[in-house]
Amino acid sequence: MTTIALHRRRILFSRLMLTLTGIAAFVVVVPLLLIFYYLVTAGAQALNLDFFTQLPAPAGEAGGGMANALLGTFLLVFYAGLMGIPIAVGAGVYLAEAGNTKLGTFVRFIADVMNGTPSIVTGIFVWAWVVLMMGRFSLLAGSVALAVMLLPMVTRTTEEMVRLVPRELKEGGMALGFTRWRTTLGVVLPAARSGILTGILVALARIAGETAPLLFTAFGNPFWEWRLNEPISALPLLIYQYAISPYDDWHRQAWAAALVLIGLVLAISLVARFLIRNPYR
């Protein structure tokens, strides 16, 4: 074969590969675009002021809103973060700084297993340990379930982010006569901060949309609720409940709730992206 022919072949091959991978990349975004299209067409009309301010209407009646579920989702995610984030960040730092120990290897393995555990299993686990012991469904139980989901995600991203901090930076702290933990807290963590924050936000977005772990923990509640020891409503729970109901109006509201939920997740992701772009404040 002549060199020119060979050259042509290469260019053709290169174009072919570019087209194929380009198609693949497009296919990846198609589901998201379709989801948005569906949600907007089906749910936007049900998105009104009532949706954000009113309690759900009694079964079969038109109108009402999901205000209590919005509050519920916020509280569930808030308490889950409050419980889970400090522990997960601490564990992640430990894995990155001292993770070559037996304990480290063990914790990393467990975290990976937990990451792959179906969320319904987490729900059953928390039901057995918290709900049965308290004798009731509750905001606390739901938050614990979500915190258990969040733990392995944030632990592993924190570990990765701390590992990415250049060794030179750590040595810079040590060389100034800082103790090891001072170096970690004062030099390494600030350098990894934006990455860790991003990981936390992604995890919060994830758990905000979880349904299965809440089914037998938070359970749901048609009324306003904010106490830790009472069952509470959440957007994903209502979506589930409304979607399998026989009422058209509830279907529309389920679409609307899904739209709100995905908007929430999208907003959090955008914030996370913004943080990635500005690594140091």
Partner 1 sequence: MTRPSPRKPPPEAHEIRPAVEAKDFSFWYGKNQALKRVSLQMPDRQVTALIGPSGCGKSTFLRSINRMNDLIPGIQHEGDITLDGDSVYRADQDVVALRKRVGMVFQKSNPFPKSIYENVAYGARVNRITSSRSELDELVERSLRQAALWDEVRDRLHSSALGLSGGQQQRLCIARALAVSPRVLLMDEPASALDPIATQKIEELVYELKEDYTIVIVTHNMQQAARVSDRTAFFFMGELIEVGRTEEIFTNPKVEQTEAYITGRFG
Residues near partner 1 (CB under 8 A) are 166, 168-169, 171-179, 182, 186-187, 190-191, 193, 279-281
One-letter amino acid at 253 equals: Q
Dihedral through CA 118, CA 121, CA 125, CA 131, nearest 10? 110
Strands, E assignment, 6-145 = none
One-letter amino acid at 128 equals: A
- Tell me whether residue 196 is exposed, middle or buried, using C-beta atoms within 10 angstroms of its C-beta: 0 to 12, 13 to 18, 19 or more: buried
Q: Least distance (Å) from partner 1 to the CB of residue 102?
A: 15
When the beta carbons of 112 and 171 are compared against partner 1, the nearer one is 171
Dihedral through CA 25, CA 29, CA 30, CA 34, nearest 10? 180
When the beta carbons of 192 and 214 are compared against partner 1, the nearer one is 192
Q: Least distance (Å) from partner 1 to the CB of residue 186?
A: 7
Buried b (16+ CB within 10 A) or exposed e, 203-237: bbbbbbbbbbbbbbbbbbbbeebeeeebbbbbbbb
Quick check: 137 and 131 in contact, CB under 8 A? Answer: yes
When the beta carbons of 86 and 186 are compared against partner 1, the nearer one is 186
DSSP 45: G
Q: Least distance (Å) from partner 1 to the CB of residue 177?
A: 3
When the beta carbons of 191 and 243 are compared against partner 1, the nearer one is 191
Q: Least distance (Å) from partner 1 to the CB of residue 279?
A: 8
Quick check: 65 and 51 in contact, CB under 8 A? Answer: yes
* Distance between CA atoms of residues 238 and 57, nearest Å: 12
Q: Least distance (Å) from partner 1 to the CB of residue 277?
A: 14
When the beta carbons of 60 and 166 are compared against partner 1, the nearer one is 166
Q: Least distance (Å) from partner 1 to the CB of residue 58?
A: 55
When the beta carbons of 49 and 281 are compared against partner 1, the nearer one is 281
* Count of positions (residues) in the chain: 281
When the beta carbons of 181 and 226 are compared against partner 1, the nearer one is 181
Q: Least distance (Å) from partner 1 to the CB of residue 160?
A: 17
